[in-house]
Structure 1
Amino acid sequence: MKITKELISSADDQNIYLVSITNDNNFSVTFSNFGGYIHQVLIPYENNLEITEDVILGYENPLGCITDRSFFNVITGRVCNRMKDAEFILNNEKYKLNNNNGNNHLHGGSTGFNKRLWTINSIEENKDEVTVLMSYLSKHLEEKYPGNLSCTTEYKFNNNNEFSICYSATTDRDTIVNITNHNYWNFHGHNDHYGKILNHSVQIYGKDVCEVESDLIPSGNLINVANTKYDFIESNPISKELIDQGGIDINYAVNNEKEMKPVGRVWSHLTGMGVQYSSDQPGLQFYTG
């Protein structure tokens, strides 16, 4: 396996690096320690391993993530997704957070984990796998969350073409935390087949979705996907009708066992490229952009 680590900016005393890992099958992942931004995922064609497609959306210049407001391919936290009225109650105390999505709080606030410089603690390589460990200390009342939260993110890539992400966090007082990844995929790639996400198929192993209000805040109820546009229990193509109706941005209940298991997959009919997701978390967010 091949590893490179390049310093791409040192502005404001922030050393931003771009790390690239290429495995023995010519699959590669490139990412930054600024917000954990994943800049590039290259997959080779099955009939010609020398020709690859970049199947993730992002910026031509990796430093574009600094001013990004769409959460392209980053670490989102302290808490991903939306909190109604930018507040929560913990131990009978109400905490008012910064609102950055109308009156609501989205993906950790205006300066969430996607806007923080993570420290690259280590890059470890063995014969078939590379592991990069990054850390960040979110201080007490950052974005108005309680507690000093010590966070680690582990990016791991191997010769089975598996890219795994593992988050962990410890705190010195009661708080809330729910960190995730926010990748934008298009498996048509950036070359001859580049286009909208039509001609993709999706399968999600979840029979229920979280009912949401008009501002995409969960109501607390689950809705069975049968006979709705959310039904991807069997693989279904993304249709023009679905996109014309506003697409999808909703959370699926996929795992109540707290064990790692497959939760969904998506692939392009044009390139044959795709991904299968596995998770030990209860929910999977499907967003068509």
Structure 2
Amino acid sequence: MEKNHISHFTTDSIAKLFGALPDGTAVHSYTLTNSKGLEVTFITYGAAISSLLVTGKDGVKTDVVLGFDSVEGYLASYTVPSPPYFGAVIGRYAGRIANAAFTIDGQQYNLDKNHNENTLHGGHLGFCRVVWQVKEVKQEADNASITFEYTSPDGDQHFPGELVTQVTYTLTPDNEIKIDYKAQSSRDTVINLTQHSYFNLDGHKGNVLTQQLMVNTPAILEITEDGIPTGKYIKAADKGFDFTSPAGCPASIDNSFALTDASAPAVTLESESTGLKMTVYTDQPSVHIYVGGNCFGQVKGKEDAEYHANSGICFETQNYPDAPNHTNFPNAILRKGETYTQKTIWKFEQL
């Protein structure tokens, strides 16, 4: 593996040892800032965001994402029955694939089963559980970015093709974090990438239920009891998830909202307590919103936080779950020689 490269915009001191995997592989952290006081720490394990400090009212900084202080915390979180995937890039395929199988041009591929009979978030050893290379880091007052790269070998978790993926996080002068994904495969394959941070605008030790959520669509995907899309669209209001106007965050949700306008905000989240507002933009057809889970009470977060089911909310911007198995869903096949791209923006403002 080639050495991490840091551009001339920075010094080597920006890379800090975060810990090591059981096999001795080093995990490093990188902290970037912008002129608005945004301060984000990334780790090479899972290309994850472990800390995201945003300046709210009265100039107070709030860490708005859940995470761990050590590599050991991240490793331990993947041993519980329902891993939280804190802050990580998810691949090769975010969400569920029914019966752990899909077909391309008549060829069936049987995947790693890690969620009953289905595949979830790429299998047992998805992109969230590998160490990514850092290809470039830039840190100037109004130009801060970091690019991670990972090469997934042909047959990884039984997906076809060697897949080379890059994810670039950019901190902008407008207090945004732009996430740009790019991937190419040596064979026809399927792909669906996302970012799995849990947000809490009251701080990672808080509770999201008092925060106001708005989602720019009335439609969600109908799913089975196992969370697999049926192929039909239904009204979110029919399931108690009408967020077309601001409403309190739900105590439990694990649903994909169907988006139709990439130029409009997909999601907004507001906290009266800290005076913070978060807006999500994406070019993807869906935002999967997740609150809850059954891992809490089993994992203790950074700063000794006692995380619970309502500690954070996820906005997983992505293609539809199980899209390879539904002809009426957006295309999820990446052909050899083509380039997969995806863009998501998180914008932070003061109310």
Q: What TM-score results when the alignment is normalised by the length of structure 1?
A: 0.90
Contact 1:122 1:132 in 2 (8 A): yes
The Cα of 1:62 is off from its aligned counterpart by 4.8
SS at match of 2:128: helix
Amino acid at match of 1:55: V
Correspondence list, 1:206-285, <5 A: 206-226=217-237, 228-238=239-249, 242-243=250-251, 247-255=252-260, 259=262, 261-285=264-288
**What is the aligned partner in structure 2 of residue 54 from structure 1?**
63
Q: Give the length in aligned residue pairs.
A: 276
Contact 1:86 1:103 in 2 (8 A): yes
C-alpha displacement at 1:220, in angstroms? 0.4
Q: Distance in 2 between matches of 1:38 and 1:62?
A: 13
Give the RMSD, CA atoms, in angstroms: 1.9
Alignment partner for residue 117 of structure 2, among 94, 100, 103? Answer: 103
- The code of the aligned residue for 1:83 comes to I
Kept in 1: contact 2:161–2:185 (CA 8 A)? yes
Q: Is 1:5 matched up with 2:15?
A: yes
CA contact (8 A) 1:37 1:65 kept: no
- Which residue, 127, 130, 133 being the options, matches 2:144? 130
User: Compared with structure 1, are the counterparts of its residues 272 and 55 closer, same or farther at alpha carbon in structure 2 (3 Å cutoff)?
Assistant: same
Distance 1:170 1:10 in 2: 29
SS at match of 2:208: coil
Contact 2:219 2:234 in 1 (8 A): yes
Shift of 1:33: 1.2
Which residue does the alignment assign to 2:216? 205
Question: How far apart are the structure 2 equivalents of 1:15 and 1:61?
Answer: 12
- Match for residue 332 of structure 2? none
Aligned partner letter, 1:93: Q
Residues 71 and 182 of structure 1 are in contact (CA less than 8 Å); yes or no, is this contact kept in structure 2? yes
Tell me if structure 1 keeps the 8 A contact 2:10–2:139: no
What's the counterpart of residue 85 of structure 1? 99
Query: Residue 175 of structure 1 aligns with which residue?
Result: 189
1:42 alignment partner, SS class: strand
Unaligned runs of 5+ in 2: 1-8, 78-82, 293-351
3-state DSSP of counterpart to 1:53: strand
Query: 1:14: how far off?
Result: 2.2
- Identify if the C-alpha distance between structure 1 residues 63 and 165 changes in structure 2 by more than 3 Å, giving closer, same or farther: farther
The separation in 2 between residues aligned to 1:286 and 1:221, in whole angstroms, is: 18
Q: What whole-Å deviation, never above 9, does each CA across 1:89-142 have from its counterpart, x for those lacking one? A: 111111110111111100000100001111000112444121211111110000
**In 2, Cα distance between equivalents of 1:283 and 1:113:** 20
Other structure's SS at 2:265 match = strand
Contact 2:215–2:244 (CA<8 Å) still a contact in 1? yes
Which has the higher relative contact order, 1 or 2, with Cα contacts under 8 A spaced 6 or more apart? 2
2:52 to 41, 65, 68: 41
The aligned residue for residue 40 of structure 2 is 29
Determine the C-alpha separation between the residues in 1 that align with 2:263 and 2:89: 20
Q: Deviations over 1:208-232 (max 9, x none)?
A: 1000000000100000234541110
Structure 1 Cα separation of the partners of residues 100 and 107 of structure 2: 14
Structure 1, unpaired ranges of 5+: none
Q: CA deviation at 1:81?
A: 0.3
Aligned to 1:71: 85
User: Does the CA contact (< 8 Å) of 1:34 and 1:66 recur in 2?
Assistant: no
Map of 2:25 onto structure 1: 14
Secondary structure in 1 matching 2:225: coil
Instruction: Confirm or deny that 1:196 pairs with 2:207.
Output: yes
**Matched-pair contact (CA < 8 Å) for 1:2–1:22:** no
C-alpha separation between the residues in 2 aligned to 1:2 and 1:62? 24
